[in-house]
Structures are given as C-alpha cells and as structure tokens.
Chain A
Amino acid sequence: MTSVACHCCPTEGMIESSTALLYNTFVENTDWPDVMASVRGDDEAYGRLVRRYEKPITGLLWRFTRDPVQCEELVQQVFVEAYFSLKTYRGDAPLLHWLRKIATRTGYRFWREKAKEPREISLPEFDVLEQIEAAQDETIDPAEAATVLQSLLGRLPPDDRLVLTLMYFEECGTQEVAERMGWTRAKVKTQALRARRKMKEIAEREHLLERLGWTF
C-alpha cells in the first residue's frame, strides 16, 4: 500500500493514501494525525481528542440535562459512539462539528427516552420559575437564566425543544440545525415557528417578564 504525507502535519508521519484521498485539503484539520492514530487503535491519541473536545461537548449536553450525573453519562456515550464511528469521519469538516452532530443526536435520543418515562413528580412542584426573585435587568445570574430557559423549554415536545435549544444556546441557524439532525431546512423552519409560538404562550402564561422584572 502506498503512503503519502499528511499536508497539515508533515512531521507526524505518513497516512494511508486511500484515506488521504478522502481528506479535504481545503480544511485545516489539526486533529487528523490523532484521528488516524485512533483508527489504528492508539488509545492515547483518542484520549487526547477526548480531552481536547470534552468541554464544548459537555457545554452542549448541559443544555439537554442539568443533572451532572446524567450529563456526564451522555458525554461518555458521545465519545464512545464517536470512537466506534471514527472510520466514517472523512475530515472534510472540523472534528468538533462532527462531534457536535453526534452529541445533538445523543441528547435528542435522551429526551425522547425521558419523554416515554412516566413522571412520578408533577413538574410544577419543581418549577424553577416559582423560585425566581425579581431580577433587575442584566443582574440575573447566567446559571439562573439558563435554568429558567431550560425549564421553559422542557415543557415543549422534544422536536420543538431541540430546535429552540440549538437556536437559543448554540446560536444555530436553521441550516445548521437541519444538518445536525439530518432534517430538511423547511422542516426546521416550520418547527421553529411553531416552537416559538408555543414558547411565547408558555412565557406569557407564566408571567415571565413580570417575574424577571423586565416589564419596562
């Protein structure tokens, strides 16, 4: 088998030419040597990738659950799934994009499974909105803001919730949401429109702005 040097890391050795052909040379992919080493079974290389991207992936999955135990479990699931699918990563986009796609789908699956489970405790009992002290403009704590927003989003069905979660927290456009989920852009647009309408109703019903002291 012939080998060629990887363009972004000439000192890192050689990679197989068949794989190199798949690699899009227009994208600067500094993870490529570690990806190739991981595919060949180098655990240390995959450990480096995990440590490099653990923070952004945790940040994303934190939007799917605020329970640290569940969140950690989801993060582990993402990296294990990514490891076994690493051969399918073609390197034509940064690895983080590919990992985010896996993480989004993992989180979505988690919501769908949770939605099937019977709820033993009624939601209003743990409604964080009940605990909000009227905040003055920007003084609301980011963690509290995230808790409130996630609590509101949690009342939506998984599809609506996902679209708005990615839009609010990840600042994704409809195109990116569609790419991450493998949905059509038209579906995402319709979903977003419907979800926003529902969110507005929920926020009005809960008197969100009054509780936050944002009625000016």
Chain B
Amino acid sequence: MDVLEGLNKLARRAREESTPVFGVADAVRLRILSEKPQAITLIPLGLFGGLSALAASVILALAVQFWNYMTSPVMELVVPLREIRLW
C-alpha cells in the first residue's frame, strides 16, 4: 500500500469519529451581552446639558451686569478730580 493511500484510508476512518458537543448557546449569549456596546441613554445626557445651560445663563446675566458697571480705567485721567467732601 502506498503511503498516500494509507493516509487517505486513515482519513476515511478519522471522519467517522464522533466529536463532542459542548452546549455553548448560553455562554455565547453571555459573551455577546458583555461585548455588545452599551446604548447611551439620553436622559442623563439631557439632564447634564440642561444644568450646564442654566449655569451658563446665570453667569451670562452676572457678566452683563458687571459689564454695565465697568468704566474705562483711562477715564480717571481725563475727568477732573471731583472734590470729596470729607465733612
């Protein structure tokens, strides 16, 4: 018998081997769940965005007020000093 013929014969016998069955369905499901990218829920994101907008509007309102009170620092040079009555 030729070696290659022998190998073919060995392969024919090997194909008759019954292979094990592991029952992987549950393990696969768990792995899929752990590897699946989690969907980002919009509620916390919206809440965070809302709070940020609120804080920003408060800061803006204060900034506008301060802006109105602000005078130029050069003004002091051109405007004559006003006498301050001490008593």
Contacts and interface: CB of A to CB of B under 8 A. Distances in A.
Given A58-B20, A83-B32, A169-B14, A47 B25 contact: yes
Contacts of A98: none
Interface residues of A, number: 43
Interface size class of B (residues with CB under 8 A): 20 to 34
B11 interface: yes
Contact of A138 (B13, B15, B19): B13
Contacts of A58: 19-22
A50 interface: yes
B24 interface: yes
Interface stretch (B2-10, B40-48, B52-60, B64-72): B2-10
B10 A54 contact: no
Nearest to B28: A79
B35 interface: yes
B63 interface: no
Interface string A59-93: 10010000010011001100110011000000000
A84 B25 CA distance: 15
Contacts, number: 109
Contact of A146 (B17, B23, B31): B17
Contacts of B25: 47, 50-51, 54
Residues of B contacting A: mostly: helix
A203 interface: yes
| SS of A interface (majority) | helix
B3 A145 contact: no
B16 A142 contact: yes
A208 B3 contact: yes
B84 interface: no
A109 interface: no
A75 B32 CA distance: 13
Nearest to B35: A80
Nearest to B4: A200
B1 interface: yes
A96 interface: no
B29 A47 contact: yes
B21 A43 contact: no
